[in-house]
Amino acid sequence: MTQPTPESTGNRPLAGRDYPADLAQLLAWFSDDESCVDYLQWLRWPEGICCPRCLSAFVNNEPDNRFRCKKCWYRFSATAGTIFDKTRTPLTVWFQTAWLMTAGKSGVCAAHLHRVLPISSYQTAWSMLGKLRSVMSTQDSSLLSGRVEVDESFFGGHRPGRTGRGAAGKTLVAGAIEIAEDGWGRARLAIIPDASAASLREFITANIAPGSTIVSDGWRGYGNAVEGYAHEPVSVWKSGLEAHASLPAVHRLFALVKRMIEGTYQGSGSVGHLQEYLDEFVFRFNRRHSTHRGLVFMRLLERAVKRGPVTYRNLVRKPEPKAVHPRGVSGPHALPGSMEREASERPWRSPRATLE
């Protein structure tokens, strides 16, 4: 039986039906792990449950919200092969953590999370946040397009010595943001090794669609980096403007992310984890116009069940773990026992037509 989802019916996700409209509704919907598992099943298999090993759509129900493939007899669950795999933390706590990460503009730090939620240790809270950040990267997102401001900025605090592109001992971050007459669009942020043409070229091609217009300062590195793009260099020296005035959008972007790191994480922007914080900021920034923060919460959980597992060792030793996507296709399936509750108790399972 195919489950109704906004995407499968052509409808936009709605607050109070597909995702909680506020914190009170979040706590009411997801008061136990069974409801959380059912929501993850709905997000992971919108067109029907299938075996992640052999991709068969014919499965049997097992106890504890698990399934058994009729073809290869593999036993699996909605959390298997995801960042929730083998977690000992209740899913209700995971959902509240995801809400805190997406509901505000600045996120949440591990120390605060450990204080306000029933999490066993600071290490566990830090690991949970790291796993959720690991699915926030923009690697699967569409490229920026149109007119795009591009610049670089150093992160890492104040140090004596040379400033600007020749500064040592700091981390260089490239930024890009769409600009239009009616405001700013989506953004990208990434650590780069230096401001050479090769490094800038790699950042531009990875994040901006060919044919777009690059608006940058007059740094010579952009000369060879923008091949295949229209280029509008703005010379700060010739214009007589300050750098933040000549490229206002991207400099505002840098100011906002630095404020988040200084405020929420007390400036802990080490090279090892800085990219994770940049990805978290961009994830929220690109969804800042969402009418409900609950929609951002839903999008985060959608990614969480479509990316592979991340261990604590991955987070410590490999700040950017390679994404391994859970296998699976949509198709007919048996109705899980957890779905047998009335639709009114789980609004996301309600037939679409009755709610239009």
- Encode pLDDT of 49-66 as tens digits: 999 899 999 999 888 889
Q: What is the CATH superfamily name and number for domain 147-285?
A: Ribonuclease H-like superfamily/Ribonuclease H (3.30.420.10)
Write down the pLDDT at residue 245. 77
* Mean per-residue pLDDT, 163-187: 84
pLDDT per position as a tens digit, 230-240:
999 997 766 65
> How distant, in Å, are the alpha carbons of 151, 170, 249 from that of 161?
22, 11, 28
What is the per-residue pLDDT for 10?
A: 55
Residue 7 has pLDDT above 70, yes or no: no
Whether the per-residue pLDDT at 323 is higher than 80: the answer is no
Average pLDDT (82-90) is 95
- Closest by CA to 56, choosing from 329, 305, 324, is 329
Q: 352 vs 122, which has greater pLDDT?
A: 122
Q: Is the pLDDT of residue 160 over 80?
A: no
Whole-number pLDDT of residue 341: 47
- Residue 8 pLDDT greater than 50, yes or no: no
Model pLDDT, residue 9? 47
More confident residue, 158 or 12: 12
pLDDT on residue 60 = 92
Mean of per-residue pLDDT scores for the chain: 84
The pLDDT of residue 335 is 36
| More confident of the two residues 109 and 63 | 109
Query: DSSP class of residue 96?
Result: H
Give CATH 3.30.420.10 domain extents, the chain: 147-285
Q: What is the pLDDT of residue 250?
A: 97
Q: What is the pTM of this model?
A: 0.83
Instruction: Provide the pLDDT for residue 239.
Output: 60
Coil, strand or helix: which one is 67?
strand
Which residue type occupies 43?
A: L
188-192: list long-range contacts, CB under 8 Å, 24+ apart.
188/138, 188/144, 188/282, 189/253, 189/257, 189/278, 189/279, 189/281, 189/282, 190/275, 190/278, 191/271, 191/274, 191/275, 191/278, 192/152
pLDDT category of residue 244 using cuts at 50, 70 and 90: low
* In contact, 192 and 217? CB cutoff 8 Å: no
